[in-house]
Structure 1
Amino acid sequence: MERGPAHRIRNSRIVVSVFIGLVLMYLLVFMPLPMFIFQPGTADPIKPMVRVKGGDAEEKGAFMLTTVRVSDASITSLLVAMVHPYEDIYFKKDIFKNGENEREYTQRQEIVMQSSQMNAIQAAYRKLNIPFHIQNDGLVVVRTLPGYPAEKELIAGDSIVKINQDPVKSSAELNELMKSKKPGNTIVVTYKRKGEEKAANLTLTALPAEKDANGNVTSERAGLGIVPADVQSIKADQDGKQVKIKAGEIGGPSAGLMFSLEIYNKLTPGDLSKGYRIAGTGTISAKGTVGSIGGIEHKIIAASKAKADIFFAPKDETAEASGGTPARNYSDAKKRADDIHTKMKIVPVGTLDEAIAYLQQLEPKS
């Protein structure tokens, strides 16, 4: 039987309706906007991330690092975030540095995390008078500058291995090799990307003029146009005290304090946790000073959901101490903790010593 015009029109309307529905779903749910949504992340036990040769494994409680979940905004998630009391919206341009793309931002966070881990290990070693040295392991590309030679071949995350036949393991070595080069020279850059070694011929160009310590403009320099970062590791002079950290894909500097506490616990006899679930946040310097971080209100929620008993928050800082806007980490953490009516105790700390002293005076949890 031949179907009539009415049937064909009805089928056409169904196809058009389905197509429009799919387009609307994409626009509402999947189309990314130039914004990020920040919301509570997780509170993850650090013990599985930190390994110490011959370390003390006793830990009845837990030391936990806290995270902020960052996701691309869609129209739907943006509308939800606008009315949700514990979600924040940021334009990507305010998060990225000038000219930085998302890959380069992620790479920068990885480098900052590596630096945080190094500081955490150093702080614990210094506290326990454990001799150590710093080892250069390589040079990684954090970003490439638009309009310069490296932009054609290199991407964030590439490791530079050699310039011509000269091995490179640090930015100092790279700078020294570049001193003898002039704009217009062609060099062979050997690099690794995802474990695969590659080589590229790149013609150097003049880099922007810089000023030295006296304010004088430096002479013309030839270069690739990259922002490099040294990949380093901390090596204990005694093999039995060596610390290794594997934190997966977590980025940023804010787990420094909690890494140091876990390392200290494993390098000393007994259980520093005393059976408590201890969460927290804060950068740490190689000498053990705790610094302020962003997103602490979200981390309070993550720690409370993970049933933490204690939360270490960086002490409030003045504008002078923080180098700009006053940092109110403890005050913001305490306010959010009061808002959500958590039983978790918020403890302000300014140094690793203060955090350790607080835990040492606690009675073990029954």
Structure 2
Amino acid sequence: MRNKKRGAVWAFVIGIIIAMAISYIKLPYFITKPGNASALEPIIQVDGGYDSKGSFSLTTVSIGRASLISYLAANFDKYAEILPMNQVKAPEESDEEYLNRQLKLMEGSQESALILAYHKAGKEVKSTFNGVYVNSLVKGMPASKSLKAGDRVFEVDGKTLKSAEEFVGYVGKKKEGEQVSITFERENKKRTVQLAIAKFPKSLAKGSDTKAGIGITLMTDREVSVKPDIKLNTEDIGGPSAGLMMSLEIYDQLTKEDFTKGYQIAGTGTIAETGEVGPIGGISQKIVAADKAGKQIFFAPSENGKKGSNYEEAVKTAKDIKTKMKIVPVDTFDDAVKYLEKLKQN
């Protein structure tokens, strides 16, 4: 009897250990899934801003470190994606450093949205530009041989930079093998290097918005002041992909016309202060998130009609999930505004 009881106890203990291993032991992967579609009005509040009958919403992708059970589940979920760690985080980057990088990207996107929306609405906006700085580098890519984190990049092919988004937009149009001239400052000394556009490693290229580049991420350092005042509660939101929708929400609150026309509108895309909309990752997952939240219209980056664009992927996903949500292609902030101006009142 004692042996049977002892065997039962050991079986129970082993079962607990296996259950803990399945649930808590982390694998070298991240799992991304459809996140949420969150209305921006509670997050962005312009002092004395106008109300709207509809809403603008940002869309998110849920991301977490893979456990054995979540890894297995993701293999059976069409809209879950398994990403190697080096596709999400830079080599030797801690979780805290990764989070800080994402928050910095949001900060830059937020500033671009502010400058653009206030300028378009004819309101007072002042921006003090302090430079564009190297945030991280991809090991083995061209930039890693010449640049370092902390370098101030101020020219690309002789073109003076005003934001990180401007750099990404310019370099993103280059093809593999083309040369690009980068002028930067390190320790008060200016240097210029010629770098070739190269393909990203397969682990980074999979699911990425850009397949080739020089292997660099940049941060814009600037100070923005506006009138009327604005409150932005974006401390818990990371990444640059909410830029387009933030600019539309700010613009809508600054102008008397209700640009929502009573519709529930979601979307995604980076935004440059000059108005260009850039591609993002996880577009399919964001379409699923917006559909589940009951959104009626979704703005997707068209990438100037590029094959395999965010817009094309969004349309494909929309058909797959049989949503009634209207997918609208945009290349600029003005494209979105013009669409909204022609929209009939809901």
Higher mean C-alpha displacement, 26-35 vs 113-122: 26-35
Distance change >3 Å, CA 290–CA 141, structure 1 → 2:
closer
| CA-based RMSD | 3.2
Counterpart residue identity of residue 11, structure 1: K
Counterpart residue identity of residue 212, structure 1: R
Q: Provide the rounded CA distance (Å) in 2 between the counterparts of 1:45 and 1:250.
A: 13
Q: Percent identity?
A: 40
Distance change >3 Å, CA 211–CA 78, structure 1 → 2:
farther
Indicate which of 71, 96, 112 corresponds to 1:103: 96
Equivalent residue, structure 2, for 1:15: 9
Q: Provide the rounded CA distance (Å) in 2 between the counterparts of 1:102 and 1:141.
A: 19
Q: TM-score, normalised by structure 1?
A: 0.70
**Does residue 69 of structure 1 match 2:82?**
no
Q: Provide the rounded CA distance (Å) in 1 between the counterparts of 2:273 and 2:336.
A: 15
**Does residue 212 of structure 1 match 2:199?**
no
Q: Provide the rounded CA distance (Å) in 2 between the counterparts of 1:245 and 1:233.
A: 15
| Structure 2 alignment gaps of length 5 or more | 137-149, 153-185, 195-216
User: Cα distance, 1:52 vs. partner?
Assistant: 0.9
Question: Secondary structure of the residue that 1:117 maps to in structure 2?
Answer: helix
Q: How many residues align?
A: 281
Alignment of 1:147-166 (within 5 A): none
User: Cα distance, 1:358 vs. partner?
Assistant: 0.5
Deviation readout 1:194-222 (Å, 9 max, x if unpaired): xxxxxxxxxxxxx99x981167xxxxxxx
User: Cα distance, 1:28 vs. partner?
Assistant: 1.3
Equivalent residue, structure 2, for 1:338: 319
Distance change >3 Å, CA 278–CA 13, structure 1 → 2:
same
Q: Provide the rounded CA distance (Å) in 2 between the counterparts of 1:12 and 1:317.
A: 69
Q: TM-score, normalised by structure 2?
A: 0.73
Question: Secondary structure of the residue that 2:262 maps to in structure 1?
Answer: coil
Q: Provide the rounded CA distance (Å) in 2 between the counterparts of 1:230 and 1:288.
A: 16
**Does residue 32 of structure 1 match 2:26?**
yes
Given that 1:134 and 1:233 are in contact with CA atoms closer than 8 Å, whether structure 2 keeps it comes out as yes
User: Cα distance, 1:247 vs. partner?
Assistant: 1.9
| Structure 1 alignment gaps of length 5 or more | 1-5, 144-169, 173-206, 216-226, 320-325
Q: Provide the rounded CA distance (Å) in 1 between the counterparts of 2:302 and 2:134.
A: 34
Counterpart residue identity of residue 46, structure 1: L
Larger radius of gyration: 1
Given that 1:60 and 1:271 are in contact with CA atoms closer than 8 Å, whether structure 2 keeps it comes out as yes
Q: Provide the rounded CA distance (Å) in 1 between the counterparts of 2:93 and 2:190.
A: 23
Deviation readout 1:95-124 (Å, 9 max, x if unpaired): 212332222111100000000000011111
Question: Secondary structure of the residue that 1:34 maps to in structure 2?
Answer: strand
Deviation readout 1:132-172 (Å, 9 max, x if unpaired): 223589xx9978xxxxxxxxxxxxxxxxxxxxxxxxxx998
Deviation readout 1:8-32 (Å, 9 max, x if unpaired): x233223211211111111212211
Indicate which of 328, 335, 342 corresponds to 1:354: 335
Question: Secondary structure of the residue that 1:43 maps to in structure 2?
Answer: strand
Q: Provide the rounded CA distance (Å) in 1 between the counterparts of 2:276 and 2:115.
A: 12
Q: Provide the rounded CA distance (Å) in 2 between the counterparts of 1:297 and 1:228.
A: 26
User: Cα distance, 1:231 vs. partner?
Assistant: 6.0
User: Cα distance, 1:80 vs. partner?
Assistant: 1.2
Counterpart residue identity of residue 68, structure 1: V
Distance change >3 Å, CA 286–CA 230, structure 1 → 2:
closer
Given that 2:134 and 2:151 are in contact with CA atoms closer than 8 Å, whether structure 1 keeps it comes out as no
Alignment of 1:56-135 (within 5 A): 56=50, 58-134=51-127
Question: Secondary structure of the residue that 2:303 maps to in structure 1?
Answer: coil
Distance change >3 Å, CA 211–CA 302, structure 1 → 2:
same
Counterpart residue identity of residue 235, structure 1: S
User: Cα distance, 1:243 vs. partner?
Assistant: 2.4
Question: Secondary structure of the residue that 1:84 maps to in structure 2?
Answer: coil
User: Cα distance, 1:318 vs. partner?
Assistant: 6.9
Question: Secondary structure of the residue that 2:19 maps to in structure 1?
Answer: helix
Given that 1:316 and 1:329 are in contact with CA atoms closer than 8 Å, whether structure 2 keeps it comes out as yes
Equivalent residue, structure 2, for 1:175: none
Q: Provide the rounded CA distance (Å) in 2 between the counterparts of 1:257 and 1:358.
A: 14
Q: Provide the rounded CA distance (Å) in 2 between the counterparts of 1:72 and 1:306.
A: 25
Counterpart residue identity of residue 344, structure 1: M
Indicate which of 240, 256, 276 corresponds to 1:253: 240
Distance change >3 Å, CA 10–CA 64, structure 1 → 2:
same
Alignment of 1:187-202 (within 5 A): none
Given that 1:171 and 1:230 are in contact with CA atoms closer than 8 Å, whether structure 2 keeps it comes out as no
Distance change >3 Å, CA 334–CA 229, structure 1 → 2:
closer
